[in-house]
Amino acid sequence: MKIQRLYIGDFGILRNQTLDELDPGLVVIGGLNRAGKSTLMQVLRYLGYGFPKDGNLPPANSRYEAEADIRLGVGDVYNLRLNGHGEPVLRRIAGTKTDITSPKDLYALDSFSYGRLFTITLDELAVNRAISSDDRMRLQSILLGAGFREMLLVPQLEQAFYKEGDRIGGKRGNPGVKQFRPYFNMIEAGRKLKQKGLSQVQEYQDKQQELKNMEEAVKALKKDLDKLNNLVVQLDIVKNSYDNYLRVQELRTWLADNKDWEWEDGPTENLLVRVRSLWDDYTGLCKRIREKELQSGLNPEQEKQLLAAREEMANLLAEISGVQERIRSLRQRQQELDRKKRDIIIKIKEANSHWDENHMDYITRIKADNVEYNRLIELVEEYRELENKCKNQSDNLHKAREEFLALEDRAIEYRDSRPWLGVRKYFYFSLAFTFIGVLLSLLNPLSGIIVGVGGIVGSALFFILKALGSSASRRAAHEQEKELRAREARIRAEEGVLDQLRSDLKKAEETLNGYKDKLGLPRGVPQSVLPNHLMRIKDIQRGAAELDWLSDELEDIKGFIREQYSRYREFVDQFQGRDTGNADQGTDPYGDEDWNRIIQALRLWEDRLKDAEELRLLKVKIGSIRKEIMDIMEGYELEDSSLDESNNYSVNNSRFEERVSVFMERAQEAIEYARNEAALRESIQGILGSMSSDVIRRAFVPDSADRVNLVNAFMEKCREFASAEEAEREYSQTIKERDTKLEELEDTRESIRRLEDELKRLGTIENLTQGQRQIDSGRAELKVLADQYALNMTSAFLLREAGKNLLEGMKDSVMKSAGNIFSRMTNGDYQGILPSEPLLESDFQAILDEGSDPQTVRMLSRGTQEQLYLSVRLSRIMDIKPCLPIIIDDSFANFDSLHLHQSIDILSELANTHQIFILTCHGELVEKIAEAGHKAQYWLLEQGRIRASDCDSLSSHLRTLQKV
């Protein structure tokens, strides 16, 4: 492999420098110090691998840039381009090879090996090279392992595995580095979490203890609070009931002072009130009785009498209206009798105008009952027949007579009966209207009066008008009378005939007359009147009989009235003596005045009876009151109870009153005592009432529900304070104290709640679980990496061991080649090179000659050391295929001329197969190369600029400047 063209765009001092048509063999580049030789060497060293970031390279102006055309064999040309620190980019320019696709294929050697073997500086050849032990071993392996391609692969593979292992877990497989790290962190975090979870147990225990302590504290606080609450309750009751306390104290003192007032089962206040009320009633009644007695004027005898006659008086009073009714009836009947009497008189007069009331007896004596009305009718008829016979004798006479008689009857009737009839009718009508008026007046007095008066007046007018009409008739009757007279004359004429007849007729007439006589009828009246007359007589007789009956009845009534009068009179007189009787001697007992007087008297006594009755009732009442009082008092034993049992108002009044007074006074005391006792009880009850709740009771008497104890405890507590105000102050103080305790309790409880929450949290296994999960996950991932790490490191180990063993086996053959070069380079001074043990860790040894001990490099001169190392390297370089470019940077400075010549010869030979860049600042070296006659290409490097040169120019340039 030969570099055909090299372009350095930007690398340290070298910029835009091109080395065209580089020789495939020996290329000598001369330049003084700081001209850019080492820079150029580094470009060549890293050309196939890229510029490393940590290679202590000279800085780029802006960005590393280099390019090279590389020839492989005859026609294959590749372009390698480097940019910055990036991998070199390979591009085929010419040729047909297909197996080279990357710079690795081109160089086929790792960067380390190429750097250590093919780029040779004085540093590389020094004994005390500043390289690490690993690099030394690696280098040693490279230097010893020359010869096998597979062997060349071994370090690569080993490094690859090692690097892979290193990439995963670093050199020491520390879990906390490289790719292990994230999982290390995860596991660590998990462990911490788990540890936290585990420490929760301890924390739980601590917290539990803390909780226990707090609960104890709460208990103590609650106890204190209970005490304070009790005290608050006590003080609250004390301050609010302090008046009750004082009252109880006062009442207890009073009751003790007035113990003798105590009356066990004594009268109640109501009873005393009742007694007092009764007593008031009693005294009131006494007063009323006295006043009544004075007012009524009744003496006890009278009272007694009156009360005894109470029933009779009641009867009399009740009968007054009856008597008055009878008096009214008497008057009515009297009036009726008078009216009937008048009617009878009228009838008498109508029956016989000569008659008057004095004929009453006469008429009543008429034995009308002996006269048969029918016989009389027969007789009249017979009389009429006789008359008719007479008529037969004289038609006209008879007729005239009959007419005469008829006319005469009518005339008589007109004369005798008409005014009477009219008056009578008028009377009847008036009566009727009066009656109707009275009836109506019951309903409506005005209409009754109007109808009654109107009817009477109307009837009067009617009958007056009718009477005026009858006057004309009478005048006509008078005319008829005259005609009768005429006709009588004629009749008399014919009376002869008629005499007989008349005789008969007379007899008949006599008979009839006899009847007329009997009946007190004048004879002159027509026979035909007789029956009617008879009827009138009978009517009168009946009226008279009626009058008699009425009179009798009146007498009866009068008798009754008189009797009643006497009775009333007697009744009244028995109370007042005959003081009312003087006046009534000879008085009409039927008159209103008498009766009024007697009734008035009766009413007077009736009032007195009422008084008496009232007095009686009052006395009964007072007796009842007295009895009630006594009954009440009897229920309560007094020392003096020898009061009689009389309820009499007047009996033992003063003693009764005295006893009642004593009773009431004692009762009053007892009641007051009882009232105070009740007040005491009430006050105590009030106290107990205010202590009704269990809380309050327990506050005073925790262990007892006994009321006495409770009250005593209350009183005891009250006694601690001189006033309610003092209790109030104590109460406020205690409240404050309690509130403070309460706050303290609440705070502690809150702390307990927090602790409980904390304990709940600590009781969970969340941290443990999560931690374990994290550890497991981390370990699972870490295990994969650890596996990979182990695999790579094992592989590296196996390869390293294998490589070492193989190197051991190959050392003779490897060292033989290097020994030959070394011998030639030292011009035979040394025979060969031996590796030291252990192979990879020790340096080489130089064989001076047969039989002598090998010399370690440290025993050699510096030049010989460098020649040894150069020999070993060149030996390895010769074994390694492909033939990579060799760069030698002023590595011959310590070589003497002979050894330099020998070395140049060896290099010149090597240049047949390898392209060799010799970088030097020594003109001598350039000259030596030329002198040896080896083909070489010369380049001058000056101030970072490279240009083609020749041996002389370059040598001269270097020498001149060296002298300068």
Partner 1 sequence: MVGIKFIHTADIHLGSLLHIGGGKLPPAVEQAAVTATMEGFSRVCHAAIKNRVDFVVISGDLYDREARSVRAMSFFAEKCRLLEEAGIPVLVIAGNHDPLKEKQDLIRVPDNVKVLSGDRPEIVEIPGSKGDPIARVIGQSYQSGSLDKGIHYDYKVPDRDLWNIALLHTQLEAPSSRYIPCSLTQLREIPDIHYWALGHIHRYRDFSDDLPYIAYPGIPQGRDFGETGRGGCILANLDPFGQSQTSFIPLAPVIYKRVEINIDDDPTNVPGTLLDLVDRICLEGDRLLEETGDDEDYPIEGYVVEWTIRGRGAIHSQLMEQEQESMEFLLNSLREQYEGSSPFLWTDSIIIRTQSPIDYIDLLENSPVFREVDRIIDQCLEDEDMRERLMDELGIIWKGDGDHETENDLRFHMDDASLREILYRARYLIAERLTGRGEGS
Contact positions with partner 1 (CB under 8 A) in 123-162: 148, 150-151, 153-154, 157, 160-161
Nearest residue to 551 (alpha-carbon basis) of 863, 330, 303, 788: 330
Task: Considering the complex, state which of residue 210 and residue 385 has its C-beta at the smaller distance from partner 1.
Answer: 210
CB atoms under 10 Å from CB of 384, counted, come to: 17
Contact 145, 151 (CB under 8 A): yes
Torsion (CA) 301, 306, 308, 313 in degrees, nearest 10: 160
- CA–CA gap between residue 104 and residue 493 (Å, rounded): 227
Indicate which single residue of 196, 288, 779, 862 sits in contact with partner 1 (rule: CB under 8 A). Answer: 779
Indicate which single residue of 783, 816, 881, 947 sits in contact with partner 1 (rule: CB under 8 A). Answer: 783
Task: Considering the complex, state which of residue 154 and residue 323 has its C-beta at the smaller distance from partner 1.
Answer: 154
Count interface residues toward partner 1 (CB under 8 A).
64
Task: Considering the complex, state which of residue 183 and residue 822 has its C-beta at the smaller distance from partner 1.
Answer: 183
- CA–CA gap between residue 341 and residue 359 (Å, rounded): 12
773 touching partner 1, by CB under 8 A? yes
Task: Considering the complex, state which of residue 26 and residue 211 has its C-beta at the smaller distance from partner 1.
Answer: 211
Q: In the complex, what is the shortest distance from the CB of residue 115 to partner 1, in angstroms, rounded to a whole number?
A: 19
799 touching partner 1, by CB under 8 A? yes
Contact 306, 565 (CB under 8 A): no
Task: Considering the complex, state which of residue 194 and residue 619 has its C-beta at the smaller distance from partner 1.
Answer: 194
Task: Considering the complex, state which of residue 94 and residue 157 has its C-beta at the smaller distance from partner 1.
Answer: 157
Order of strands, edge to edge, in the sheet holding 945-949? 119-121, 886-889, 916-920, 26-30, 936-942, 945-949
Q: In the complex, what is the shortest distance from the CB of residue 840 to partner 1, in angstroms, rounded to a whole number?
A: 14
- CA–CA gap between residue 287 and residue 653 (Å, rounded): 13
Task: Write phi, then psi, for 693 (nearest 5 degrees).
Answer: -75, 150
Task: Considering the complex, state which of residue 431 and residue 802 has its C-beta at the smaller distance from partner 1.
Answer: 802
Q: In the complex, what is the shortest distance from the CB of residue 214 to partner 1, in angstroms, rounded to a whole number?
A: 17
Q: In the complex, what is the shortest distance from the CB of residue 72 to partner 1, in angstroms, rounded to a whole number?
A: 21
In whole angstroms, what separates CA 6 from the centre of its chain?
100
The one-letter code for the residue type at 195 is Q
Task: Considering the complex, state which of residue 214 and residue 701 has its C-beta at the smaller distance from partner 1.
Answer: 214
Residue recorded with tokens 């370690």: 856
CB atoms under 10 Å from CB of 735, counted, come to: 16
Task: Considering the complex, state which of residue 197 and residue 455 has its C-beta at the smaller distance from partner 1.
Answer: 197
Q: Which stretch binds partner 1 (CB under 8 A): 240-248, 296-304, 603-611, 782-790?
A: 782-790
Q: In the complex, what is the shortest distance from the CB of residue 799 to partner 1, in angstroms, rounded to a whole number?
A: 6
273 touching partner 1, by CB under 8 A? no
Nearest residue to 360 (alpha-carbon basis) of 346, 342, 352, 348: 348
Contact 811, 839 (CB under 8 A): yes
- CA–CA gap between residue 533 and residue 484 (Å, rounded): 24
Indicate which single residue of 107, 714, 721, 789 sits in contact with partner 1 (rule: CB under 8 A). Answer: 789
Contact positions with partner 1 (CB under 8 A) in 802-841: 802-803, 805-806
Task: Considering the complex, state which of residue 389 and residue 779 has its C-beta at the smaller distance from partner 1.
Answer: 779
Indicate which single residue of 769, 861, 960, 962 sits in contact with partner 1 (rule: CB under 8 A). Answer: 769
- CA–CA gap between residue 514 and residue 310 (Å, rounded): 69
Task: Considering the complex, state which of residue 161 and residue 433 has its C-beta at the smaller distance from partner 1.
Answer: 161
Pair of tokens at residue 397: 């006479």
Contact positions with partner 1 (CB under 8 A) in 184-223: 184, 187-188, 190-191, 194, 197-198, 200-202, 204-205, 208
Q: In the complex, what is the shortest distance from the CB of residue 136 to partner 1, in angstroms, rounded to a whole number?
A: 19
Task: Considering the complex, state which of residue 160 and residue 604 has its C-beta at the smaller distance from partner 1.
Answer: 160
Q: In the complex, what is the shortest distance from the CB of residue 108 to partner 1, in angstroms, rounded to a whole number?
A: 13
Q: In the complex, what is the shortest distance from the CB of residue 757 to partner 1, in angstroms, rounded to a whole number?
A: 14
One symbol per residue from 163 to 182: x for binding partner 1 (CB under 8 A), - otherwise; what is it?
------xxxxxxxx---x--
Nearest residue to 778 (alpha-carbon basis) of 193, 30, 319, 50: 193
Q: Which stretch binds partner 1 (CB under 8 A): 214-222, 571-579, 632-640, 766-774?
A: 766-774
Task: Considering the complex, state which of residue 135 and residue 356 has its C-beta at the smaller distance from partner 1.
Answer: 135
Residue 849 exposed, middle or buried by CB count within 10 Å (0-12, 13-18, 19+)? exposed
Contact positions with partner 1 (CB under 8 A) in 672-691: none
557 touching partner 1, by CB under 8 A? no
Q: In the complex, what is the shortest distance from the CB of residue 209 to partner 1, in angstroms, rounded to a whole number?
A: 10
Q: In the complex, what is the shortest distance from the CB of residue 205 to partner 1, in angstroms, rounded to a whole number?
A: 5
- CA–CA gap between residue 421 and residue 763 (Å, rounded): 149
Cis omega (within 30 of 0) for bond into 155: no
Longest alpha-carbon distance in the chain: 264
Q: Any bridge partners for residue 121, and if so which?
A: 889
19 touching partner 1, by CB under 8 A? no
Contact 29, 919 (CB under 8 A): yes
Residue 637's Cβ-side half-sphere holds a number of Cα atoms within 13 Å equal to: 3
Order of strands, edge to edge, in the sheet holding 855-856? 832-835, 844-847, 855-856
CB-based burial, 678-687: b 16+ in 10 Å, e otherwise: ebbebbbebb
Q: In the complex, what is the shortest distance from the CB of residue 781 to partner 1, in angstroms, rounded to a whole number?
A: 8
- CA–CA gap between residue 70 and residue 602 (Å, rounded): 184
Indicate which single residue of 689, 702, 763, 838 sits in contact with partner 1 (rule: CB under 8 A). Answer: 763
Q: Any bridge partners for residue 11, and if so which?
A: 14
Indicate which single residue of 530, 796, 839, 910 sits in contact with partner 1 (rule: CB under 8 A). Answer: 796
496 touching partner 1, by CB under 8 A? no
Pair of tokens at residue 431: 């009566």
Task: Considering the complex, state which of residue 104 and residue 276 has its C-beta at the smaller distance from partner 1.
Answer: 104
Pair of tokens at residue 45: 């060293």
- CA–CA gap between residue 515 and residue 377 (Å, rounded): 12
Task: Considering the complex, state which of residue 316 and residue 799 has its C-beta at the smaller distance from partner 1.
Answer: 799
Q: Which stretch binds partner 1 (CB under 8 A): 399-407, 710-718, 789-797, 921-929?
A: 789-797
Question: Which residues form the interface with partner 1 (CB under 8 A)?
Answer: 148, 150-151, 153-154, 157, 160-161, 169-176, 180, 184, 187-188, 190-191, 194, 197-198, 200-202, 204-205, 208, 762-765, 768-769, 772-773, 775-780, 782-783, 786-787, 789-791, 793-799, 801-803, 805-806
